[in-house]
Amino acid sequence: MGLTLHHFLILSAILFSIGLVGALTRRHIIIMLICLEIMLNAANLNLIAFWHFSSNPLLMHGPLFTLFAIAIAATEAALGLALVLAIFRHYKTIDLESIRDLKE
């Protein structure tokens, strides 16, 4: 039995869940960013999988979207890390529990 679309979808669902749980529970801000990336890549995996098993893989929509998403994810990661740095400089901590200035 070869690989089918479902294998990929399940794998990506697992990845997404791991990322989601991580993002919701971990208090380390960088781990949270990494979890965000995992979720994004789960979505990318979906795009590639659907493209691969689609009726006309000669249309390059899947890889195009994915490349776009990767490029944007790269900029987003750069921005996120810069923000983390700024937050760390300001609060002297990156523990999310102790940063509570988002209210009001």
Partner 1 sequence: MNLFDFSHSVGWLWWIPLFPLMATVWLGFFNPSGKFAAAVANAALLASLLLSIRAFAMTWGPEAGVLTANFTWIQVAGVNLEFGVVLNPLTGAMLAMVTFVGLLIFLYSTSYMSRDPGMTRFFCYLSLFMVGMLGLVMSNSLLLLFMFWEIVGLASYLLIGFWFRKPSAAAAAKKAFITTRIGDLGFLLGLLWAFKATSTFLLFDGGQGLLEIEQITALSATKDVLFGLNGAGVIALFLFIGAVGKSGQLPLHVWLPDAMEGPTPVSALIHAATMVAAGVFLVARAFPLFLADATVLGIVSWVGALTALFAALVALGQYDIKRILAYSTVSQLGLMMVGLGAGGLALSEGGVSIGTFHLLTHAFFKALLFLGAGAIIHGCGHEQDIRLMGGVFNRMKVASICYLAGALALCAFPFTSGYYSKDQILLSAWTAHGAVFWISASASLLTAFYMTRQCCYVFLGDYRGKGPIRQSPSLMTAPLVILAIFSLAMGIVSEEFYHILTYLSGIAVDQHAWIVVVVSWVIALGGIALGLLIYGGSQLGLDATDPMKGSLRTPYAWLENQFFIDELYDATVARLWKASAVLIVFLESGIHFLVETVRGLVTGMGGFLSKTIDQKLIDQISFDGVCDRIYKSGRLNAIIQNGFLQGYLRSVTLGAVILGVLYLVFAR
Task: Give contact residues for partner 1 (rule: CB under 8 A).
Answer: 20, 23-25, 27, 32, 96-97, 99-104
Shortest Å, Cβ 29 to partner 1: 9
Report the half-sphere exposure of 84 (CA within 13 A, side-chain side).
16
- Enter the DSSP assignment of 31: H
Nearer to partner 1, 24 or 58 (CB): 24
Helices (H) and strands (E) in the chain, counts: 3, 0
Rounded to a whole number of angstroms, the minimum distance from the CB of residue 50 to partner 1 is: 19
Q: Which is nearer to partner 1, 2 or 101 (CB)?
A: 101
Tell the residue number behind the tokens 């997404």, with chain if given. Answer: 16
Tokens encoding 43: 């979505």
Cα angle for residues 19, 31, 41 (degrees, 5° grid) = 40
Q: Minimum CB separation from partner 1 for residue 47, in Å?
A: 20
Which residues share a beta bridge with 28? 95
Nearer to partner 1, 58 or 102 (CB): 102
Nearer to partner 1, 19 or 62 (CB): 19
Smallest gap from residue 26 Cβ to partner 1 (A)? 8
